[in-house]
Structure formats: C-alpha cells, structure tokens
Structure 1
Amino acid sequence: MRKFPLGDLESRHHTVLILLWTATVLLCLLTCAHVYGLVTEGRQREIQSAERDLSNLTRLSQEHAVRTFRSADQVIRFVQSRYQDLGSRLDLAALTRQGVIDAEIFNQIGIIDAKGIYTLSSLPIATHPDLSDREHFKVHVHQDSGQLYVSKPVIGRASGKQSIQLTRRINNSDGSFGGVVVLSIDPTYFTNFYGELNLGPGGLTALYGQDGIARARRVGDKTEFGTDASRSILFAQRIHEKPFGSYIQHSVVDDVERLFYYRTMPKTDMVVMAGVDMRFLMANQEQAAQALYLQAGLVSLLILALAGGLSRYLWLLRRDANARLQAQAQIRERKEQLDAVFDLSPDGFVSFDRNQCVKFVNPAFRHLTGLGALTLEGMEARDFSAWLAEQCETSARFGGLSAMRRKAESNPANAVETIELKDSGQRTLMLQLRLSDTGTISQLLHVRDITKEIEVEVLKSEFLATAAHELRTPMASIFGFSEVLLTQDVDTESRQEFLGIIHKQSRLMVDILNELLDLARIEARRGKDFKYLPINLQTMLTDMAKSFQCPAGRAQPELEMPAQAITLLADAGKLRQALLNLLSNAYKYSPEGGAVRIEVERLSDKDTTPRVAIRISDHGIGMTPEQCSKVFARFYRADTSGRLPGTGLGMSIAKEIVEHHHGSISIISAPGEGSQFTIVLPEEARSHESGKLSDHA
C-alpha cells in the first residue's frame, strides 16, 4: 500500500474538500438555474397562451366594432343621400318607424346644418340646439376627409344620453359645406358586448381612438367612457409600428400590470384592446413556481447535508489516517532507533520467533562470530546451537539454547554462559538468554565480547603481581636489616652500613609509589589537569640540559636545534618530566660512557599539521626487538640483573604524557649499539613571534 507523508495527506484532504464543496455549490446552482428555467418557461407558456386568447378576443371585438361602424356608416350614407335630395323635407322619424334606421343600436340620427344647428332628428326635439362647438361638427367644416368620424363619448344635447357621435360631411352641389350627418351610438352597446368576454378580475376590454381616449372601456364589471390613456406606450409608439401586437405594462389609468393585446381598425382611427391582470394570469404559475422553489430549496438542503456529512466523514477519515500515519511514523522511528541500536551496538543480538527459528541477526553478531555470508535467518534453535558449538574451543563449548532456556525459566540471572571461539583469535564471548512473551519473539540471545575485560583482568593481576614483586624486594631488605638491628648487637660500622641499605631501599619504595601515583593520576584525569601554554622548545631543552645532574664523570647532553624558534602548546612541567625520564634512561643504560645527544627537527609535510621531532639517543647496551616491544609496559626493565636502579615506570609515564599532548613516541635500538627515542609533537601556529612566547622551562 502506498504511504503518503502527513503533509501530502493534508494537502490531498484539502483538495478533496475544495472539489467536494465546489461540486456542491455547482449542483445547488444548477438546481436553482433549472428551477428558474422551469419557472421562466412556465411564465412564457402562460403569457403565450394568454396572448393567443387575447388575440382571438381582440379579433372578435374588432369584427364586432367593424360591423357596427359599417352598419352605422351605411345608415349615415343613406341619410346623407336622402338629405341631399329632399333637404329639410326629410322625415327621419318616419324612416325610423319604417325600420330603415335600427333604433336598437343607435340612439338617434340627425342633421346639423352648415351653421351648426341641429335641425333634423329621428327623435322628437323641442328645440334645435346649437352644436357648432362640438368636435364632431368642427372636424368637417373646412374640408371633406371622406372618412367616417368617431367622436369621443359625449352627452347628447338632443338625446341627453352618453353617446358616441359618428359623423360624415354633407356637401352642396357646388362642393361647399352643407352640414353634417350625425348618428349617436350608445357606448354601453360595446361595453355590454365586452362584458360577455370573461377576462377575470381586473381584465380589460376597450375601444380606443388613436388619440388615446377610450370610446368604451370595461374593467371587470366596471364600465368607463372617455378615459385618457394617451400616455401609454401603445399610442406613443406601438400602433405606429405594427397594426396589432401585445405588450406588458402597468396601466397609466389604474396602475395595474396587464398583458395587453391590441388591433387597429382599418378605415378608422379606432383601436380595440384586451388585457388580463398579470396577477390573475400568473396566480397558478406563481403557486407552481413557489412549489418548484420549495423543492429546489429542499434539494439544495439535501445536497448541502450530504456534502456536510461527507465532509465530516472525510474529516474522520483524515483524523484516523493522521493517527495511523503518526503511529506508523512512531513505529518507523522506533524501528529506526532499534535498527540503529542493533546496527551500531558492539554487542551481538539474535532473536527467535514463536516457532523457535532465528528471525534476526545484527551485524555485531556476524562480526563477533566471523559469520561472513552465512545466513542464519530461518534456522531452527537446535541447528543454531549446533552451529555455534562447532565454532567454540572444546574447553569452552556452547551448551545449547535449550539448557539456557531452562535456566532462564527458573532464574533469568542464571541464563548466562561464556564461550571461547577457536577461529577468532581466542575471542571470549558472554551469552545471556532473555525470554519474551510478545507475539513475534520468543527469546533474545545477547552476545557480548569480554575478551578485553579478561585481558584487563589478566593485566591487572600481572600488574599487582609485578608491583608486589617490585615492592617486596626492597621491603625484604628493609625488614631483614631492621630485624638484625633490633635483635643483634652490631658494631657501629655495620650499623651504618645496614642503615644505609634501609635508607636506599626506602628511597626506592618511595620512588615506585610516587611514579605509580603519577601514572594513576594521569590516567584518571586524562590530562584534565594539564595546563597547555605556548612554550619555546629551544629554551626549555637548553635549561633542562644545563640543570640535569649527570652521573659522575659523564658530560652534559649535547644539543642540536634549529636557530628559528619552535613553539609548542604544552604543559611545560609534564613535558619536561617525560623528557627527563628519557634522558635519565639514556645515561642509565649507557654505563660505559658515550655521548648522549638531544636533536630537534622540524618535520615538513604540506598535507598535515606542522610537527616537531625530539630525538634522545645514547650509545649504551641497546635492546632487542622483543625488548623494544615491551619497553613502554609498566615495571618493564631491559636490565634483568638488578644492577641498574629504576622502577620500570618511567617509559609508561613518558608515553602517557606525550599522548596527552597529541603526540607519539617510538624507539629504535640494537643490542650493543644504543637506543634512540623519538617524540613527535604538533607545532604551535608559526605566526607566534619568538618575542611573544613565554619561556617556560
């Protein structure tokens, strides 16, 4: 399974959430857009259906008005013709009684003479009113338009009724103005017809002139005459662009929003109009729209709820994944730590699974046992015990895991065994078995190399034996001669001799103890009490050579040093002690005489730190290679005769001091030719001027 870092997981989770909520918002928007589209489409369908109905109704109204005006015009033309023939002898009342003039449609018909006097009428009139101020008279005075004129609704002065005046000009034989034929129509004739057209509450049907004045207007059950709607867009623009059509507008009369449909009437300046209240028209559609919006809201809430639930689920997954990754990271870190411990540990470890088979072997075990390329993983415990036993010396053979397991079950502290390998330079290993109750490991074998510990124990025993031997010899002399002095009566000369021997041996014991303490102090403090300061090497060696107490008859040591000052960063006292030990040995092991020489040389090497070599050589008895290999061992003395004084610790002390100065000491020697000791020390930075150095001697 692919593993993702914690940061990548957070980034992926953030991306998924962004995609999820983007999709959620898009779904909600699409839902709303779909519902909006359905509502808009439903509204358009309602409007289109209403437009078709209104178109049919206006066509019906148009045909009704056209028939009415045509019938009226026929009567007017008949009366016009008869008046031109008979003049004032025309009997309009008789024509009405004879049925020539339909009195059910028309209020009356009459003649207005050229002076505007209403002279003839189909109805009895007591007086002849002056109508010269009427618009339907004045429109014909100056010219003959040849058109039927339809007036605004007025109160007839002859009939006393609300009426629409339809007029035509009467021309004399010479073409001059001879009067006007006027026919009055009751406008309720139109409104009664409009009342039969059910357009709902607020529905409108009307007959308008193109001047914007209603000849007849019905809104619901209410009839109106002479209403001014000239400010409507219909009369300002639409009737001049198209003879019929629809539009939606708030009425300029009652401010009700309606869907209007209009048709102009040919050969007249009339317009028939029908309108339906938008609230009434869209009532059902509004309910359907509200239902759709409610459904859209519920669907959107459901989508949001699903997105929220999914987000929480993803959050829980992320939390679990984070916890799992953190646990895996902790396990991985712990495994890396354990792997590092097992890989870097000098001790060997071998683990066994629940089936008693080798499961893990660390590199240290392979190194300790010289395992090489051999694979132990999967080997049974019995075979492992046999293999390890074959690697051991017969005298220290491995007893097997079964025996160690029995010991561990009774007492874990007893499950320890020591073996000695035969092919690893007599390496001694200590094995300890630990039992485990985990599900994967049954037992763990811990292997530790104790070869050095045994060697240290041997060296410690040898050191104690050597120290005891070195101290026993002078102690025996002191004890013996002091006992003689205490138990026997000796002469003065013998007493002085015995006391001299006791003093000499006591001095030897003091020297041994002092050097042992110096060596122990140097080893214990590991140079922490050394005070490193820049010193002039030539000055120190010159002072040391001058102050050295040579044996009787021997010359002071010869010095050969470069003229340029050499600076060392050293503890002057400790370094002087090491050099004095070497110088003292040079005189001590050249009893036959010969020059003792001190040489100083700079060692040039561009790739390393500048170094200085100090060589002390003699022409004494010399040493064999075997003796040279032991010269720095404690209590070792090349002279085994006992004739040469010494504790055998001087070289060990010198070696410790030199090594604490980050230097090295070596010896070149041959029997009968003498010895040369060389101390190599790092030189202090050459930027130091000789005048700035302290001359520590």
Structure 2
Amino acid sequence: MSASFFATQDQYHRRTVVFIWLVALALLALNWRHSIDQIAQARSRELQAAERDLANLTRVGQEHADRTLHSADQVLRFVQARYIEMGRRLDLIKLTEQGIIDAENFPQVGVIDPQGIYILANRPVTGTLDLSDREHFRVHLDPKMTGLFVSKPVLGRATGKWSIQLTRRITMPDGSFGGVAVLSVDPGYFTRFYADLSLGEHGVATLIGLDGIARARHTGGQESFGADLTKSPIHGQLSQGSKQGTYVSRSPLDQIERMFHYRRLARLPLAVAVGLDVQEVLANYRTARDTLLVQASAVSLLVVALAWAMTRYLVRLRRELQARMAVQQQVEERTEQINAIFSLSPDGFVGFDDRGRIKYVNPAFVQMTGDTGQVLEGMDEKGFSQWLSRLCESGARYSHLAPATADSPRRSIVISQGRRVLLVGERAGNGGAVSRILYFRDVTHETEVDQIKSEFLSTAAHELRTPMASIYGFAEVLLTQELDDAERREFTAIIFEQSGAMARILDELLDLARMEARRGKDFRRTPQDLEQLAQDVIRSYKQPAGREKPELLAPPGPMPVFVDGGKLRQALLNVLSNAYKYSPAGGPVKVELRQRQAEGVPQVGVVVRDCGIGMTPEQKARVFERFYRADKSGRLPGTGLGMSIVKEIFELHQGVVEVESVFGQGTEVRMWLHAEEAHAPVFEDTST
C-alpha cells in the first residue's frame, strides 16, 4: 500500500474522531437545552396550576361571601318591612327565639331610630346606646342611600366584639326617615372559612372593600380586621374597575412573594382576594428541577463515555461498516422504490413466493376486494383462487390459476361488493424468490362508460329514427306518386315539422355535449336580477291558445345572481314549456321567486307550479334521464331532453333543481341558485 493510501486513511480517521466528538457536543447541547426547557415548563405548569387553584379558591370565597351577605340582606329586608308595619312593637327577641332570625350566623340584629339610638335588638341591651356617630348610621341620612351598606369592621358597643355592620335605611310610608335596620356579621365567620381553604403556611385570604379596607383577613393562621390596604396592588386594580385578575406581589411586612387572584362581588362594593406563597407553590418544581439537573448530568457523563468508546471502536471498524452501510443503503433504496411503486399504484398486485404462497398484497388490491389483506398472507394458490372466486359474481367468477407465462391471456372478473370489474393478468417471476405475480386493473369506470355510451347511442338513434322515418316515407310518396297541390302541401308540412323535430333533438344533444365538454367554461356570467330574468321569460313565452299567461309572484327587493342570462332563460323556458305541455286540461301555471338559507348560504330560486297530470314516484325518479318522457302515449310532443338540460345548466351554476309531483294533481319544479355574494341581501327564508 502506498503512502498516499495511509495518508488518506489517517485523514479519514481524524475526520471520524472529530465527527464523533462534534456529535457528542451536539448531544450535550441538546441534552442541556432539553433539560432547561423541561425545567422552564415544569415551573410554568406549577404556576399555571397554582393560578387555576387560586381562581377556584377565589371563586369559592366569592360565592361564600355572596351567599352570606345575601342571606344577611334578606334578614335586613325582613326587619325593615316589619318595623315599617309594627314600629316599636316589633319583638326581635321573640323572632329570634322562634328561629325566624338566625342568631347563630347573625348574632346581633336591631333597629336604630332617626336620632341614632339603638332602640330594638334581638338580644337584651342595657342602657342607652348612641350610634349616631357611626358611619353605618350616618350614611343613611342621605335619602338617596337606599341600598345595602357594608361597613368597615367596628368594635361593637353593644357586644364588645369586632363586627361588620350591614345596614339598610328605613323609609316610612310618608317618605320620612324612620331609622336604620342594622345586622352585625362576625368577620371571624369569614376568616374561619378561609382557614379551611388549605392555603399553606403563608397563604392569605382577604375580604376587601373597594375603599381599600379589609373587612376580614386571614394570613398564616392569624386573622385581622380593618387593615388598610389602600397602597396594595389589588386596591389600585379594583379602583380602575377591574372585576377579576391575577398578579404577583411581595409583602412589605414579611417580604414574602405571593401570587394573588381576586374577584369582585357582583352586587356589593367588595372583593375576595386569595394569595399563595410563591415558594410554597414552586416546592414541587424545585424537586423536579433538581431531579432534571441530576438526570442531565448523568446523561452528559454517559454521552462523553459513549463518545470515547465509539472513538476507539469506530477507528477499527470504520471501513467495514462503510462497506456494509453502502450495500444496505442500496438494498433499502431499491426496496423503498419498489414498495412505493406498488403502494402508490392504482392497480392491484399479488405476489407468490417460490413455495406458491402469497408473499405480498398491495393496498390497491385490498381496496378493490374489500378484504383486510392480512388473511391472504401465506395463503397458497388454490386457497387464493377459491377465496377470490367466492367474492365474484356467478356470471364472472375467477377460475383457478393457470401456469403463468409471459403471454398469459387477461381475464375479466366482477367483484360482488360494489360490482367492480377487474381485468386480471398473470406473469411468471424471473427469480427464485418470486414465482408468480397477479396483476389486477379496475376497469369498472371504463365498462360503465362504454355501457352508458351504448345505451345513449341506442336511445338517441331510436328518437331520431321516428322523425326520420316520417321524412323518408313522405318524401318517397312525393317522389313516386302523383298528388294534388293540397296533398303535396300537407306532406311537405309534415316533412318540415319532422325535420324541425330532428333539428331540435340534435340541437339539444349538441347543447348537452357542449356543456359536458366545456363544464361551463363558455358561460358568459354577468350580474343579473332574477326577477327581471323571470319577467323576460314570461313576456317572451307564447303560451298555447286559450291558456292564460303564467302568474309571477316575487318578494320585494332585488334578487341578484351571477349567471349566464341566455342559459338561464333556456332552462326556465324548458320548465315553463313542460308546465303547459303536461297540463293539457288547463289550469293556472304559476312562477314564484323564493329565498332561503342553505347551510348558511343565501340562495334564490324560481318555482314553476302547474295543475297538470303530475308524475308517479317512479316517473319522478327518472325525470332527469335523457330521452325520458312521463307521457308514453305520444300525444304530447317533446324530445325528453329538456329536464336533462335544465339540470346540467343549474349544476354548472353550482345550483340545484328539485322536483315535487303528485300524480293527477300537478308538478312543482324548484330551481335554486346562490345569491350573488358581492350584493347578497340578508333575507328571511321564504322557501316553505
């Protein structure tokens, strides 16, 4: 081996080692990036969970305060009404003993007279108790203050305990000031409830007024009343009209950072705020963080160790692995290409191995037969032939597998499920691993198209043959016989009439063929008003002798559509002509314009209704078939293509045609179009 060869190998060795360590560094970076992301996500999850818990706890506190204060207000309203009715004869002590006033939750209920003297109470009060200087009395001296007032916590002169005074003004029937109904609520009732909320060692729950004064506050097992919180963030947010919110704040008293959530009461100038110690909230996060850091460190050590081991191992095996990888890559690429070809092919393939058992079935064959494909794996040729034969219709079954050659003839079978027509071919395998390949092509569509073409040509030929026979026959008479002028004119008129019938059939066939081929690309669509179009059609239509013009019914306002006016007139004339043709006994023909919403899309429609012979359900089901006529007697002229053209025109306009008919009573044809989007009106549904 030359020196250049060793130099090349040494260069490869260095590149391999550098690559290994670059990968190791990349893995280390990914490892620590992932760990940092996980740590950040863990912190975010804990904070989000705490925020949800805070919101739920605050809602519980808000609902508790709402219920408590609402119940207290009910008692106040009761005392207010009874005092107006009875005056000083009202016995609150007796009402309390009777259980009408709940003394457990509302220990002090009474009445203050207009001079501020506490005159009535549900408990005995000794001496004269002057409350004229109290805020909860003085606020009601203003006649405009008719609602419930919730005071700051006060030290009761009657009970000697802290209480929140709830008061309502008593207005006598003559409009004069009759005093104040007062109810005392123990603020400890709220703090005891907050103590049961499991807020942690440093959690806070507060019932605060919009004036910034705390009515009740529970902090770390301690309760306080009347604390001034006007400088706290919550007071600022409530002052700005905020109904609820979340914020983080550090207490200036204990330097503890807390996350708060607050909700304002709906009917009172109060709010409930609940706060959790951020450090307590993040306790689980810190544990998860430490665990992730340990894991990241362990993974880093493992990556370094693996990089070192791989460096030593790959130096020895590099050349051998490269050779194997090259061969393996070629095999995999070829296998993937073949599998992709078979998987994406619309044709079905079934491959048999050298033992004559199924080795491969592609998805297209599974879809053709409706089978799972898994039951076929490992099936022998005889079993497969029997299985496939059972799926086929009796007249086009699959026979047994014949010895495959390069020129094996193709056979057609018909699968019962879905009536699929499959063309089957067989080829012998070139290698020992594949003995036979079956090839299936779905020719259902081609078969149906051929059948439809044959039926259409047969029907068209039949329809053209009738007028052609008349033309031929009368032309022969004119050529071979001596006729007078009247007879010649009569026969010539018949030939002219039958030629017109043939021309109409050919014109309508050409219209259908042109619309099917161009799919509306030659339509000249312009903004039109549907009512104006209908009026033009009615004005230009020549109704049979003795019949009245169609009656047009239209809702007020424009009905814009974006259509080919000529095509739409052709469709309306076809339907209008049928209405008169199939009501030979007479009767009115009405044309009505309607509006509706179809799946949220505004639509406008033309409804043509007659009182004619109508159709049976069987006839109605075939009304759009080409050359189909409900009248088999031949007394009514027509080609049987009119409704086919109508349906084609409206479908190319993204519209729909609906037919309702009762045999012997008449037919209603409803033709719907999308209202023009640029000017689509907002209208009520008039389709019923």
Which TM-score applies when normalising by structure 2?
0.51
CA contact (8 A) 1:17 1:311 kept: no
Alignment of 1:672 onto 2:676? no
Evaluate the alpha carbon distance shift between residue 679 and residue 435 of structure 1 in structure 2; reply closer, same or farther with a 3 A threshold: farther
CA distance in 1, matches of 2:456, 2:465: 14
Q: Deviations over 1:559-582 (max 9, x none)?
A: 122222122122221122112111
Residue 683 of structure 1 and its aligned partner are, at CA, apart by 1.6
Residue 465 of structure 1 and its aligned partner are, at CA, apart by 1.5
CA distance in 2, matches of 1:511, 1:354: 65
Within the candidate set 586, 591, 595, 1:602 is matched to: 595
Alignment of 1:395 onto 2:409? no
Q: Secondary structure at the match of 1:604?
A: strand
Residue 395 of structure 1 and its aligned partner are, at CA, apart by 2.9
Q: Deviations over 1:273-310 (max 9, x none)?
A: xxxxxxxxxxxxxxxxxxxxxxxxxxxxxxxxxx9999
> Which residue number in structure 1 is paired with residue 341 of structure 2?
338
CA distance in 2, matches of 1:679, 1:536: 15
Evaluate the alpha carbon distance shift between residue 594 and residue 366 of structure 1 in structure 2; reply closer, same or farther with a 3 A threshold: same
Within the candidate set 546, 549, 553, 1:560 is matched to: 553
> Which residue number in structure 1 is paired with residue 621 of structure 2?
629
Within the candidate set 669, 673, 683, 2:675 is matched to: 683
Q: Which amino acid aligns with 1:337?
A: A
Residue 437 of structure 1 and its aligned partner are, at CA, apart by 2.0
Residue 13 of structure 1 and its aligned partner are, at CA, apart by 6.5
Evaluate the alpha carbon distance shift between residue 311 and residue 389 of structure 1 in structure 2; reply closer, same or farther with a 3 A threshold: closer
Within the candidate set 503, 513, 516, 1:510 is matched to: 503
Evaluate the alpha carbon distance shift between residue 645 and residue 18 of structure 1 in structure 2; reply closer, same or farther with a 3 A threshold: closer
CA distance in 1, matches of 2:551, 2:363: 56
Alignment of 1:651 onto 2:654? no
> Which residue number in structure 1 is paired with residue 604 of structure 2?
612
CA contact (8 A) 1:619 1:675 kept: yes
Residue 538 of structure 1 and its aligned partner are, at CA, apart by 1.5
CA contact (8 A) 2:343 2:362 kept: no
> Which residue number in structure 2 is paired with residue 424 of structure 1?
417
Evaluate the alpha carbon distance shift between residue 619 and residue 384 of structure 1 in structure 2; reply closer, same or farther with a 3 A threshold: same
Residue 519 of structure 1 and its aligned partner are, at CA, apart by 0.8
Evaluate the alpha carbon distance shift between residue 496 and residue 369 of structure 1 in structure 2; reply closer, same or farther with a 3 A threshold: same
Q: Which amino acid aligns with 2:619?
A: Q
Alignment of 1:371-382 (within 5 A): 371=371, 375-382=375-382
> Which residue number in structure 2 is paired with residue 497 of structure 1?
490
Alignment of 1:120-159 (within 5 A): none
> Which residue number in structure 1 is paired with residue 279 of structure 2?
none
Evaluate the alpha carbon distance shift between residue 549 and residue 19 of structure 1 in structure 2; reply closer, same or farther with a 3 A threshold: closer
Residue 317 of structure 1 and its aligned partner are, at CA, apart by 7.4
CA contact (8 A) 1:436 1:443 kept: yes
Residue 669 of structure 1 and its aligned partner are, at CA, apart by 0.8
Q: Deviations over 1:479-527 (max 9, x none)?
A: 1111111111111111111111111001101111111111111111122
CA distance in 1, matches of 2:556, 2:338: 62
Alignment of 1:535 onto 2:528? yes
Alignment of 1:582 onto 2:585? no
Residue 438 of structure 1 and its aligned partner are, at CA, apart by 4.7
> Which residue number in structure 2 is paired with residue 16 of structure 1?
20
Q: Secondary structure at the match of 1:509?
A: helix
Q: Which amino acid aligns with 1:511?
A: R
> Which residue number in structure 1 is paired with residue 386 of structure 2?
386
Q: After the TM superposition, which parts of structure 1 deviate over 6 Å for at least 4 consecutive aligned residues?
A: 10-13, 307-315
Q: Secondary structure at the match of 1:447?
A: strand
CA distance in 2, matches of 1:639, 1:417: 43
> Which residue number in structure 1 is paired with residue 466 of structure 2?
473
Alignment of 1:158-169 (within 5 A): none
CA contact (8 A) 2:552 2:590 kept: yes
Q: Secondary structure at the match of 2:392?
A: coil
CA contact (8 A) 2:424 2:438 kept: yes
Evaluate the alpha carbon distance shift between residue 520 and residue 659 of structure 1 in structure 2; reply closer, same or farther with a 3 A threshold: same
Evaluate the alpha carbon distance shift between residue 361 and residue 668 of structure 1 in structure 2; reply closer, same or farther with a 3 A threshold: same
Alignment of 1:99-138 (within 5 A): none
Evaluate the alpha carbon distance shift between residue 394 and residue 359 of structure 1 in structure 2; reply closer, same or farther with a 3 A threshold: same
Evaluate the alpha carbon distance shift between residue 560 and residue 335 of structure 1 in structure 2; reply closer, same or farther with a 3 A threshold: farther
CA contact (8 A) 1:349 1:361 kept: yes
Q: Deviations over 1:623-668 (max 9, x none)?
A: 1111111111111111111111111111111111111111121211
> Which residue number in structure 2 is paired with residue 638 of structure 1?
630
Further displaced range: 555-564 or 450-459: 450-459
Evaluate the alpha carbon distance shift between residue 324 and residue 472 of structure 1 in structure 2; reply closer, same or farther with a 3 A threshold: same
CA distance in 2, matches of 1:373, 1:505: 60
CA contact (8 A) 2:620 2:661 kept: yes
Unaligned runs of 5+ in 2: 1-13, 26-309, 683-688
CA distance in 1, matches of 2:621, 2:328: 60
Residue 332 of structure 1 and its aligned partner are, at CA, apart by 7.2
Residue 454 of structure 1 and its aligned partner are, at CA, apart by 2.8
Q: Deviations over 1:399-418 (max 9, x none)?
A: 22225x2xx33x25x2x111
> Which residue number in structure 2 is paired with residue 488 of structure 1?
481
Evaluate the alpha carbon distance shift between residue 577 and residue 324 of structure 1 in structure 2; reply closer, same or farther with a 3 A threshold: farther
> Which residue number in structure 1 is paired with residue 253 of structure 2?
none
Q: Highest Rg: 1 or 2?
A: 1
Within the candidate set 449, 456, 459, 2:452 is matched to: 459
Q: Secondary structure at the match of 1:379?
A: coil
Q: Which amino acid aligns with 1:592?
A: A
Evaluate the alpha carbon distance shift between residue 492 and residue 613 of structure 1 in structure 2; reply closer, same or farther with a 3 A threshold: same
Alignment of 1:349 onto 2:349? yes
CA distance in 2, matches of 1:354, 1:655: 57
Evaluate the alpha carbon distance shift between residue 319 and residue 504 of structure 1 in structure 2; reply closer, same or farther with a 3 A threshold: same
CA contact (8 A) 2:343 2:364 kept: no
Q: Secondary structure at the match of 1:576?
A: helix
Alignment of 1:362 onto 2:362? yes
Residue 684 of structure 1 and its aligned partner are, at CA, apart by 1.5
Which TM-score applies when normalising by structure 1?
0.50
CA distance in 1, matches of 2:524, 2:659: 27
Q: Secondary structure at the match of 2:506?
A: helix
> Which residue number in structure 2 is paired with residue 445 of structure 1?
438
CA distance in 2, matches of 1:608, 1:12: 65
CA contact (8 A) 1:589 1:621 kept: yes
CA contact (8 A) 2:584 2:612 kept: yes
Residue 609 of structure 1 and its aligned partner are, at CA, apart by 2.3
RMSD, matched Cα = 3.4
CA distance in 2, matches of 1:12, 1:576: 79
Q: Secondary structure at the match of 1:587?
A: helix
CA contact (8 A) 1:13 1:318 kept: no
CA contact (8 A) 1:538 1:565 kept: yes
- How many equivalent pairs are there? 385
Further displaced range: 594-603 or 607-616: 607-616
Evaluate the alpha carbon distance shift between residue 394 and residue 332 of structure 1 in structure 2; reply closer, same or farther with a 3 A threshold: closer
Unaligned runs of 5+ in 1: 1-9, 22-306, 691-697
CA distance in 2, matches of 1:392, 1:564: 60
Evaluate the alpha carbon distance shift between residue 13 and residue 627 of structure 1 in structure 2; reply closer, same or farther with a 3 A threshold: farther
CA distance in 2, matches of 1:390, 1:20: 60
CA contact (8 A) 1:567 1:686 kept: no
> Which residue number in structure 1 is paired with residue 141 of structure 2?
none
Q: Which amino acid aligns with 1:448?
A: R
CA distance in 2, matches of 1:516, 1:558: 31
CA distance in 2, matches of 1:348, 1:308: 49
Alignment of 1:8-407 (within 5 A): 14-17=18-21, 327=330, 330-331=333-334, 334=337, 337-338=340-341, 340-342=343-345, 345=346, 347-371=347-371, 375-403=375-403, 405=404
CA contact (8 A) 1:360 1:377 kept: yes
CA distance in 2, matches of 1:669, 1:497: 39
Within the candidate set 525, 529, 539, 1:546 is matched to: 539
Residue 323 of structure 1 and its aligned partner are, at CA, apart by 5.2
